[in-house]
Amino acid sequence: MAYDEGILTDSQMLRSAYGSYGTGVTVVTTVPADGSPVGLTVNSFSSVSLDPPLVLWCLDKSANSLQIFEQTSHFAINVLAHDQVDLSNTFASSGEDKFSGLDYTTGAGDAPLLAGSVAQFECESWATYDGGDHIILVGKIVAYRRNNAPGLLYIGGQYARSTPA
Ligand SMILES: Cc1cc2nc3c(=O)[nH]c(=O)nc-3n(C[C@H](O)[C@H](O)[C@H](O)COP(=O)(O)O)c2cc1C
């Protein structure tokens, strides 16, 4: 099959090429010392290391929550289930109170753990790196849980459900 040749200055085309790599969908949450919880939809999540147990995700430097995540001691990664598209859209918006009416508990550092998620990783902030127009946040898992519900996927700019290949 023919390729569209990549033009590095065409960010839309580069974004589309990145989007050909399918991912799961997560909501990353935290709470500032004296404020309300914050969270955003994230598909840049990746597992990194088993020993020590490390994960990473990337945060856009233009996100409203940038300063809070740069300073937080803990955050939680909530891996979304296939029926949580609405939740993903809520946390992908820049609304004031994304947690209003939501069912959640709290984990390490009081980071929100969203009901119905497939897996929850409670993390201690481990390191932060510069990543161009994003920052790369590495977390050390201090507790986690999972169930067998099917996860929500994201590929080609669209949500999808997994079926075995
Ligand atoms: C499927 C999906 C994946 C996303 N992944 C990321 C991501 O990895 N990093 C990021 O910074 N923004 C990501 N976003 C965009 C943020 O969720 C969105 O900009 C959000 O409004 C930022 O919230 P804030 O500005 O309140 O912090 C994603 C959005 C969607 C729909």
Cβ-count burial of 117 within 10 angstroms (0-12 exposed, 13-18 middle, 19+ buried)? buried
Instruction: Find the range with the poorest average confidence among 14-18, 33-37, 68-72, 109-113.
Output: 33-37
Count of helix runs (H) and strand runs (E) in the chain: 3, 12
Q: Which of 28, 42, 128, 135 to mutate to test the pocket of ligand 1 (most atoms within 8 A of CB)?
A: 42
Report the pLDDT value the prediction gives residue 70, as an integer from 0 to 100.
98
Say whether pLDDT at 164 is over 90: no
Ligand 1 pocket, 137 CB below 6 A? no
Q: Is 87 domain-assigned?
A: yes
Say whether pLDDT at 74 is over 90: yes
- In this prediction the pTM is 0.97
How many percent of the chain have pLDDT more than 70? 100
Q: Is 74 domain-assigned?
A: yes
Say whether pLDDT at 134 is over 90: yes
**8 A C-beta contact, residue 28 and residue 57:** yes
Ligand 1 pocket, 152 CB below 6 A? no
Report the pLDDT value the prediction gives residue 136, as an integer from 0 to 100.
98
Cα–Cα separations (whole angstroms), residue 113 to 9, 28, 59, 118, 137: 39, 9, 19, 11, 18
Report the pLDDT value the prediction gives residue 44, as an integer from 0 to 100.
98
The pair of structure tokens assigned to 104 is 């959640």
Q: Is 5 domain-assigned?
A: no
Ligand 1 pocket, 85 CB below 6 A? no
Q: Can you give the residue range of the structural domain that contains 55?
A: 24-154
Report the pLDDT value the prediction gives residue 55, as an integer from 0 to 100.
99
Mean of pLDDT values over 125-139: 98
The H or E element spanning position 16 is: helix 11-18
Q: Concatenated DSSP letters for 66-91? A: HHHHHH-SEEEEEEPBTT-HHHHHHH
Q: Is 3 domain-assigned?
A: no
Mean of pLDDT values over 95-109: 94
Mean of pLDDT values over 135-162: 97
Number of domains in the chain: 1
Point out the ligand 1 atom lying closest to the alpha carbon of residue 154: 1
**8 A C-beta contact, residue 80 and residue 87:** yes
Between 96 and 89, residue with greater pLDDT: 89
Say whether pLDDT at 162 is over 90: no
Specify the CATH number for the domain of residue 30.
Answer: 2.30.110.10
